[in-house]
Amino acid sequence: MRFLFGDHVLNVARRELRRGGKPVALEPQVFEFLVYLVTNRDRVVSKDDLFAHVWRGRIVSPSALMTRLHAVRAAVGDSGAAQQIIRTVARTGIRFIADVTEEDAADAAAGGLPLALPDKPSIAVLPFANMSGDRTQDYFADGVVEEITTALSRIRWLFVIARNSSFTYKGRAIDVRRVGRQLGVRYVLEGSVRKSGDRVRIAAQLVEAENGTHLWADRFDGSLADVFDLQDHIATNVAAAIGPQLMLAEIARTGRKPTDSLNAYDLYLRAVAQFYQYGESNLETAAALAVQALAADPNFGRAAALAGFCRAAQAAETWGSLSAATIAEAVRLARLGIEAGHDDPDALWMGAYTLAAFAGDHAVARDAVERALRLNPNAAYAWWTRGWIAAFTDQPETAIESF
């Protein structure tokens, strides 16, 4: 979604603000702050709302909020004195008061035309609603969706839209027919997650996007110890509803359990949530959480690979100066991730990128990413990694093909 106000264009999917056609640099928290104000412009937003959304419930000082508010106002050409765009309501909160026009970025980019359907069954797994009544549990609901997406992606006859594209619909009222046109998919999976203590309930429904027909719906209850089985059960039922010809052996082949430690899994999901916020401090937190997950399960290849990849991402963004010891540890974690996660495409591509970027070990990196793509041809980040390895080794045509 794009929001137009004055000479500004706020593009949520691209995480970009432009003023007069030129990009305005924003820190991740400042961007989240602005998006939250714009999308909630029909009401006064309280300080508690901002603390819950921008800081995910972490305790911070009031001065941190005022610093971010000042940065948001500066970004949109406003000030505390003028308050022509963002108004402070005494003892109540803050409201975005400028006139805003909404424009769907996908429709604009495609000229309003639907994308062509691929030549095999295609699906988008939309963000599941967090029904726990606790915003701090968003990471768990998002993690469940990512696991279901990955499980479906490994079914070779199924075309699955990547997580980054599907999550542009998070927090928005969704018309599945419109989603189908915008993403070029025949099916949409949506649902909800409720986590309370050690119990979890996952509800899911499969919809044919073209006409909104419900093909399958079910609800799954269990303990957190059963969460992997619940995710696999959903993937199995979705696949069976889409293609009755699916052999059970295919589902059995794609099934996997990333770790036996629920504590490690929970820490990993928290790390992934921080990673996708993709700020300097977020990557630091993600790396630390991934290391904690690895401590809880030393054979958790995906956690090891993520910890190393966070360092490679920090280096790519030139966020801080990484010590030689930090880089060496990232390389060690990448090798561990590839070894322990030999059948996990996510562990393989993350480890491959880190090895190529930090160690120049392009042969091992190339072998790992090719293995990732054999396991999951739908892995967008694996294609991205393959492109970078080709670019690092002066193979522009392979890089272009991969990207």
Ranked by mean pLDDT, which of 159-168, 314-323, 342-351 comes out on top? Answer: 342-351
pLDDT digits (tens, 9 = 90+) for 32-70: 899 999 999 989 998 888 888 887 767 777 788 889 899
Q: Classify domain 2-103 at the CATH class level.
A: mainly alpha
Q: Which CATH number fits domain 262-402: 1.25.40.10, 1.10.10.10, 1.10.287.130, 3.50.50.60?
A: 1.25.40.10
pLDDT of residue 111: 44
| Residue of higher predicted confidence among 242 and 80 | 80
User: With bands split at pLDDT 50, 70 and 90, how would you rate the model's confidence at 104?
Assistant: low
| Residue of higher predicted confidence among 302 and 211 | 302
Query: If we measure between CA atoms, which residue out of 61, 95, 74 comes closest to residue 26?
Result: 74
pLDDT of residue 249: 35
Q: Residue 345: pLDDT above 80?
A: yes
The pLDDT > 70 percentage for the chain reads 91
**CB burial class (10 A; 0-12, 13-18, 19+) of residue 249?**
exposed
β-pairing, 199-208 vs 213-223, is antiparallel
User: Chain-wide mean pLDDT for the chain?
Assistant: 84
Rounded CA separation 9/34 (Å): 12
pLDDT digits (tens, 9 = 90+) for 303-331: 999 999 999 999 998 887 889 999 999 99
Q: Residue 297: pLDDT above 60?
A: yes
The pLDDT > 90 percentage for the chain reads 34
pLDDT of residue 243: 53
pLDDT digits (tens, 9 = 90+) for 238-279: 766 665 433 343 444 445 567 778 888 889 989 998 998 888
Are 354 and 313 spatial neighbours (Cβ–Cβ below 8 Å)? no
Instruction: Give the CATH fold of the 112-254 domain.
Output: Rossmann fold (3.40.50)
Domain ranges of the chain: 2-103, 112-254, 262-402
